[in-house]
A = this chain, B = another copy of it.
Amino acid sequence: MRLADGRELIYFDDRPVRRRGAPDLRALPSAAGRPGSQARYDPLLDEWVVIAAHRQGRTHLPADDECPLCPSRPGRLTEIPEEDYDVVVFENRFPALSLPGGAAGALVGGGEEPFTWRPGAGRCEVVCFTAEHTTSFAQLAPTRVATVLAAWTDRTAALSALPAVESVFVFENRGAEIGVTLSHPHGQIYAYPFVPPPLATMIQIASRRRACGHCAALAAESKARVRVVAETSGWLAFVPYAARWPYEVSICPRRHVPDLLALDEDERAEFPGLYLDVLNRFERVLGGGPMPYIAAWEQTPVRHGREWAHLRLRVFSNRRAPGRLKYLAGSEAAMGVYLNDVTPEVAAERLRAAGGAPLGAAARASG
């Protein structure tokens, strides 16, 4: 369906039974007229930077009863017209990347070296994981995580089909300490008009070596065991040998799978339990208030490198101990050199020791 300003909204339900027909009754100016962003080229590093000046006015830490991601109720219209939902995806109202002139105009840039730019073409979508405001991904039921995975997969396919899009990035920023401005459980999808630097580098290295680095790491980690946190027959969750963050886990399919679309049925069925297990281990080790984290899916670029890309979900927290944050200061933010105060083997041991029932189940049992 379309929201009042023309933005697209799609419901994904746990069971294919409900009808979702509520219209958006708000009076919003058309999104087509809003200014777009600009991608500027940095020739020093061969990278693109997105300049999105129109986003300064975006919604910032609203009160709980003004949350735009809760379902609508009479007298309180939100971004989601229905009175309930399972999972819902919609275009961000303050997008860093968009297609204001339509896909056709998206690739015409300008400027003269060293000042060249292109339109900030692409899409930014919001993925709401639940209608419940005061919960977290870690407390979702496995069936709901399966619905979220289906939504991520579906959107990856849809966004990959847009001519301007070179890379689809599915992620969740969680927690005020990591800069999240809305506390309702949600993630995001960015469809970039270029290949992000780490993906380009990984593919370049793998293609030069004619060998996938992830496949090598998976084989070696399975054998070494010391950094393994959890596993299923199709997936391995481990702290990388050269982890950049104190608590960082890579979750990879064992098969050489390039993106979410290429996962098979068994891998899809195993993922929810494994991911919930990992998130709940993070919560136990780093708890004391909502645990901040970034969960980032690395998948193949749309148009090149597919052969050498290996799907990976990176989960890391900027908490280095309860109440202590890890900051990206000079060495990391200016020189790209990460200093990690927690030995990866120690982090893995702590995460392994923090097993037991998921927090959600415990909360439900005691509630």
A residues with a Cβ closer than 8 A to B are 40-53, 55-56, 60, 96, 113-115, 169, 171-173, 178-180, 188, 190, 192, 196-199, 201-202, 205, 213-214, 216-217, 220, 224, 240-244, 294, 296, 298, 314, 320-321, 324-331, 333-344, 346
Contact = CB atoms under 8 A, between A and B. Distances in A.
Contacts of A224: 115
A169 B205 contact: no
Given A41-B242, A43-B205, A47-B336, A190 B331 contact: yes
Contacts of A51: 242-243, 340, 343-344
Nearest to A181: B327
Given A114-B217, A190-B331, A336-B47, A242 B42 contact: yes
Contacts of A213: 43-44, 114
Nearest to A200: B336
7 contacts: A42-B240, A43-B213, A49-B244, A53-B342, A171-B331, A188-B330, A199-B335
Contacts of A44: 202, 205, 213-214, 217
A244 to B, nearest CB: 6
Given A216-B113, A329-B179, A330-B296, A196 B42 contact: no
Contact of A179 (B327, B340, B342, B343): B327
Contact of A56 (B214, B296, B341): B341
A297 to B, nearest CB: 9
A164 B128 CA distance: 50
A52 B314 contact: no
Given A45-B198, A47-B336, A173-B330, 16 more contacts: A42-B241, A44-B205, A51-B340, A52-B339, A55-B339, A114-B217, A178-B329, A188-B330, A196-B335, A197-B335, A197-B337, A198-B336, A294-B334, A296-B330, A298-B334, A328-B328
